[in-house]
Amino acid sequence: MIEIISLLAIVVAIIIGFWKDINVGLIALVFALFVGYYLGGIPINTIISYWPMSLFFTTFGITFLFSIAKLNGTLEKLSKTIINQSRGKKILIPIIFYILALVLASVGPGNISTSALLLPIGLIIAFSANISVLMVSILIILGSIAGGLSPLAPNGIVALELAKANGVGDLGFHIYFNNVLVMTLFSALVFIVLGGLKLRGDKVVVETPGRFNKHQILTLVTILVLVAWVMIGKVNVGFAAFALSAFLLLFKTADQNQAIKNVPWSTILLICGTAVLIRVADELGGVRLLTTFLASLMSEQTAVPILAVLSGVMSIFSSAVGVVMPTLIPTTVQLSSELGQVVSPTVLTITIAVASHIVTVSPFSTMGALALASSPETVDKKKLFKDLFIASFLALIFVALLLWLMNMLNIIL
C-alpha cells in the first residue's frame, strides 16, 4: 500500500503545484516529509541526504556563469552578430535561429535560458519580416532543446547523472547526439510545413550589431575556456563555472548581486525538491511498482513508443527535468530486465530524455509560455496558444514513431 501512496504523492504534488501555482519542488518536499518520515518510517536525516547535492552544485554553477553573460549583454550581442550573417536573406533567419539556439544551449546556459534570450529577439524579427511567428517560435525552442541535453547543459547533466546513479552507466554524448538528430529532423519538417521554403529569394533589413566591448570579449573567452576545460581537462562543470564566474566578477563584468538574483532558483528548487520525493518513492518501493506496471504493457516492439508517449504526456503538464526524467529514468534498468534485455537501458533512457523534451513547445511548458509572452502584441495570442499546443502533440507522435523506427533498425546512436 505504501508503494502506491508514494507514487500518488508525486502525482498529487504535481497537481497541487500547478493548480495553486506553487513550486512543485516545494510541495514535493512536504510530501517527502509526511510520506517518507511519518508513513514510511525513513529517518529524517536520510530524507535530507536525498537532496541531490552534486546536481544542485553543478546547476547553480552553470546558471550563475551564464547569468553574468546575459547581464553584460554578451549573449544578446552574440545572437545579433550571428543573425547579421544572414545578409538579409529571409530563408536563412529561421535556420540561423535554430543553429544559434542549438549552439548556445549546448555550451552551458541550457534550453530555458537560451529560449528566454532568443525568443524576444527572434519573434520581433520574424513579425517585422513577415515570417511565421509560430515557425520561429518552434525552431528556437527545438534548437534550445536540441542543445539542452548536452553534457555541459543543466538538463543534459541531470539526464547523465540520473543514468549514472541508477545503473544505466556513463552515456557520454549518446543522449545529446540522438536528441540533436531527432530535434533537427522535426525542425526540418516544421520549417517545410510552415512555409520556410517559400521564403527563398525574399530579403529583409537586419540590424548591424556594434563591436563587443572588453567585458563581453572577456566573457566570450571565458565561455570558450569552460568548454575546453570540461571537455579536455575533465573538470566538474559546476566547479569550473564557479571558478570562471569568480574570475569574471573580479573584472566587474556584471553586478554580483544581480547575477545571483538571476540564477533560476525556482527551477533549482523544482529539480532538487522533486528529486527528494522521487528518492523517497524509490525507497518505499514505488519505482519498482511503476516499473512492473510499465513492463506489463510493453514488448520489444512497443516498449519505445509507449515509453515515449508516457514521457511526453507527463512532460506536457509537468517538467521534463524536474519530474519526468527523475521519475522514469530510475526504472530503466529493471524495466529492461523485465523485458528480457530486448531493449537496453540506454535506449530506454534516451527515449525518456528525448520524448520528454520535444513536447516543451506546449504553452503549458516554460518555453512554450515564453514564446507566448515574447510574441509581439499584435500577434493573435489565442491562436498561437492553440497552435503551440497542437504542435506539442504532433511532436510527440513524431518522436514516438521515429525512435521506434530507429530502435527497430538498430540505428540509435
Please provide residue 89's backbone torsions phi and psi, each rounded to the nearest 5 degrees.
Answer: -80, 115
Domain edges within the chain: 2-49+87-205+264-408
Q: Has this prediction a pTM greater than 0.75?
A: no
Count the neighbouring beta carbons within 10 Å of the beta carbon of residue 215: 19
First-to-last C-alpha distance (Å) of the chain: 40
**CB of 357 within 8 A of CB of 318?**
no
Tell me the DSSP string of 65-118: HHHHHHHTTHHHHHHHHHHHTTTTBTTHHHHHHHHHHHHHHHTTTHHHHHHHHH
Cell of 104: 548556445
Q: What's 261's DSSP letter? A: H
Beta bridge partners of 203: 89
Question: Alpha-carbon distance 389 to 385, whole Å?
Answer: 6
SS3 label, residue 203: strand
**CB of 384 within 8 A of CB of 136?**
no
Q: What's 152's DSSP letter? A: T
pLDDT one digit per residue (tens) for the chain, 413 residues? 898 999 899 889 888 887 887 888 899 999 999 999 999 999 999 999 999 887 788 778 887 888 898 899 887 787 677 677 777 688 888 998 999 899 988 886 778 778 877 887 788 788 877 889 999 999 999 999 999 999 888 888 888 888 888 888 888 788 999 999 999 999 999 999 999 888 887 766 666 778 889 999 999 999 889 878 876 777 877 888 899 999 999 999 999 999 999 887 887 888 788 889 988 988 898 877 876 776 677 777 788 898 898 888 778 766 788 778 888 888 888 888 877 777 888 889 999 999 999 998 887 777 887 787 778 777 887 788 889 989 998 999 999 999 888 888 877 66
Tell me the DSSP string of 332-347: HHHHHHHTTTSS-HHH
Which of 362, 297, 310, 318 shows the shortest CA–CA distance to 11? 318
SS3 label, residue 186: helix
Cell of 132: 511565421
Please provide residue 152's backbone torsions phi and psi, each rounded to the nearest 5 degrees.
Answer: -95, -15
Question: Alpha-carbon distance 95 to 82, whole Å?
Answer: 11
